[in-house]
């Protein structure tokens, strides 16, 4: 009995002692947490003080960039927030010099001088984040572009500078495109520089190494996922032969060989010009030509100001203009607005699991071609003040995508979809507006031919032709084929005698077919010429 009472007493006693330790530990933990909160508050307060410490300047800049300027009424920052500020401040102090403006560059494919300089305006030094100055870099050495020639506004560097007027005369006399107007800023020579910008590393990589090294019919999956319709998804890039990413001077598509796109488009344009029809050639850019940064693991967001990687396509447009053919550069149009926002979510101009552009891309392209026609062909596309009763309604749909049907993807059983996409459907308020959205009237002066890109969003009248017609406030005649926009579409249009009343022919061809076969010659159309 006594032993039992002692045991109970011991349990009660030791339980009391253990409880005391727990309570003591709890209050000690609270004191530690209060000290941690106080330390965090001190960090933010120190960052807001107008002192001369270098660390404080970069912390303050990091706070501004992260949108974390604190007010007295706000709760203490989290440890994760503190870590983010510290990491951003460390990055800013490591690369304190930010590109503000860049000077123009020569046409590197035609310039005769082997060495060129370029001028860049910067803001920020290790001592003063607000100081402005200009720096001269070597842009071309031995007719080869240097990494510095690919700099873009917003990129950050650590620079080692010397006064430019102290450099050898042979250096200072090199040719330079100088269109930076502020001559009051000090001018330096970049003796060396450092950076950690992934996009600059990508741009400085030779163009042919980005996509042109891929096998025919291969698919490239992006190393990162991007936000599409509120979901994180990978891009799947498909370029058929990937030929448009070879160096422009060596590209087959720019030569005048029989069966080449340049020869075909030039000769067809001249042939139809004799019948009073103007050809406007507009290749449809593929995702690889718009989102090459994503393929390299970097998402630059809405606009991609870097030089486009599809040099052969852009070279083809340039040579066609020299041949007298009118063109519209849809690559430039879509790189300026790569995403559309709807209900606080973003949707790209290319379908990320598909070889076609998205309804958003089709809409923007249709509006761009309409603007071109209104500016350069007002006789058939006048600007109309009164608007027809056509309204736009956006909705989100699930796209299965055609990438999953490709042999390279099917054999590996890679999951590519479905992925959400945005449509811009059009609705007519009356019969006149409805007639504007019918596309089989051969009496229209403006005709559009092309491949399956013209079928995107046709079920809601939200494709290229629909938005072209809406922007022009007049109907257009459409001829679309499932494949063969480079030949079959033109032949179908001709066989149906739709050319008889046409004044403008907008010719859309998927970029991935520019380097392929099937380009048509006007001789194939001539025997079908009616009458005479």
What pLDDT, in 10s, does the model give residues 367-406?
999 999 999 999 999 998 778 889 999 999 999 999 988 8
Q: What is the largest CA-CA distance in the chain?
A: 130
The answer to whether the CB of 476 falls within 8 A of the CB of 376 is: no
Going from the C-alpha of 233 to that of each of 169, 285, 302, 338, 408, the distances in angstroms are: 54, 21, 17, 16, 19
Q: Which residues contact 260 (CB under 8 A, 6 or more apart)?
A: 252, 253, 254, 519
Question: Whole-model pTM above 0.75?
Answer: no
Cα–Cα distance for residue pair 514/391, rounded to 1 Å: 35
Per DSSP bridges, beta strands 176-177 and 116-123 are parallel
Q: Give 13's contacts (C-beta < 8 A, 6+ positions apart).
A: none
Q: Residue 509: its pLDDT value, please?
A: 95
Does 531 score more than 50 pLDDT? no
Question: How confident is the model over 308-324, as a mean pLDDT?
Answer: 90
Between 10-24, 243-257, 448-462, the lowest mean confidence (pLDDT) is in 10-24
* The two three-digit tokens of residue 32, written as one number: 């530690």
Distance CA 209, CA 532 (A): 53
Measured on CA atoms in the order 192, 195, 198, 200, is the torsion positive or negative?
negative
Q: For residue 362, what are the CA distances in angstroms to 91, 196, 336, 340, 398?
A: 40, 36, 14, 12, 17
Tokens of 447: 């005709």
Tokens linked to 28: 């000690």
- Is pLDDT of 210 > 80? no
Band (pLDDT 50/70/90 cuts) for residue 524 is: confident
The number of beta carbons lying within 10 Å of the beta carbon of residue 337 is: 14
User: Which range among 276-290, 483-497, 514-528 shows the weakest confidence by mean pLDDT?
Assistant: 514-528
- 34 pLDDT above the threshold of 90: no
- Cβ 506 vs Cβ 282: under 8 Å: yes
């Amino acid at each position: 009995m006594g032993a039992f009472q002692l045991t109970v007493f011991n349990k009660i006693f030791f339980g009391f002692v253990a409880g005391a330790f727990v309570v003591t530990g709890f209050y000690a933990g609270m004191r530690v947490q209060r000290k941690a909160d106080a330390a965090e508050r001190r960090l933010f307060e120190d960052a807001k003080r107008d002192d001369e410490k270098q660390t404080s300047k970069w912390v303050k800049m990091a706070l501004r960039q992260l949108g974390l300027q604190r007010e007295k009424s706000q709760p203490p920052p989290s440890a994760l927030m503190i870590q983010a500020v510290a990491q951003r401040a460390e990055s800013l102090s490591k690369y304190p010099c930010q590109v503000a403006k860049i000077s123009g560059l020569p046409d590197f494919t035609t310039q005769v001088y082997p060495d060129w300089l370029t001028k860049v305006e910067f803001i920020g030094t290790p001592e003063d984040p607000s100081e402005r100055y200009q720096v001269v870099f070597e842009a071309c050495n031995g007719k080869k572009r240097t990494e510095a020639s690919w700099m873009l506004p917003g990129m950050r560097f650590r620079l080692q500078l010397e006064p430019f007027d102290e450099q050898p005369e042979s250096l200072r006399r090199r040719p330079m495109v100088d269109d930076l107007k502020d001559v009051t800023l000090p001018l330096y020579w970049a003796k060396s520089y450092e950076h950690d910008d992934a996009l600059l590393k990508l741009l400085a990589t030779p163009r042919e190494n980005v996509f042109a090294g891929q096998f025919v019919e291969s698919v490239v999956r992006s190393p990162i996922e991007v936000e599409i319709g509120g979901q994180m998804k990978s891009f799947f890039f498909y370029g058929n032969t990937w030929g448009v990413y070879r160096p422009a001077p060596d590209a087959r598509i720019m030569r005048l060989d029989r069966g080449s796109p340049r020869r075909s488009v030039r000769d067809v344009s001249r042939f139809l010009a004799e019948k009073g029809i103007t050809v406007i050639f507009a290749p449809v850019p593929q995702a690889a030509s718009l989102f090459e940064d994503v393929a390299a693991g970097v998402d630059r967001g809405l606009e991609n100001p870097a030089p486009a990687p599809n040099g052969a396509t852009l070279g083809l447009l340039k040579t066609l203009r020299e041949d007298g053919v009118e063109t519209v550069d849809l690559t430039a149009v879509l790189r300026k607005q790569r995403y559309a926002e709807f209900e606080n979510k973003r949707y790209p101009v290319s379908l990320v699991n598909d070889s076609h552009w998205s309804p958003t891309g089709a809409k923007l392209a249709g509006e761009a071609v309409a603007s071109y026609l209104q500016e350069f062909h007002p006789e058939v596309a006048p600007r109309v003040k009164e608007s027809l009763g056509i309204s736009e309604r956006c909705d989100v749909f699930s796209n299965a995508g055609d990438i999953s049907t490709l042999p390279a993807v099917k054999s590996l059983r890679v999951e590519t979809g479905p992925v959400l996409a945005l449509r811009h459907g059009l609705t007519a308020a009356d019969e006149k507006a409805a007639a504007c959205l019918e596309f089989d009237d051969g009496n229209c002066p403006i005709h559009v031919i092309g491949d399956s890109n013209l079928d995107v969003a046709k079920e809601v009248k939200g494709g290229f032709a629909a938005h072209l017609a809406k922007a022009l406030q007049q109907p257009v005649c459409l001829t679309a084929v499932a494949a063969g926009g480079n030949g079959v579409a033109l032949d179908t249009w001709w066989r149906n005698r739709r050319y008889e009343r046409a004044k403008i022919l907008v010719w859309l061809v998927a970029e991935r077919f520019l380097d392929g076969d099937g380009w048509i010659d006007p001789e194939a159309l001539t025997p079908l010429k009616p009458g005479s």
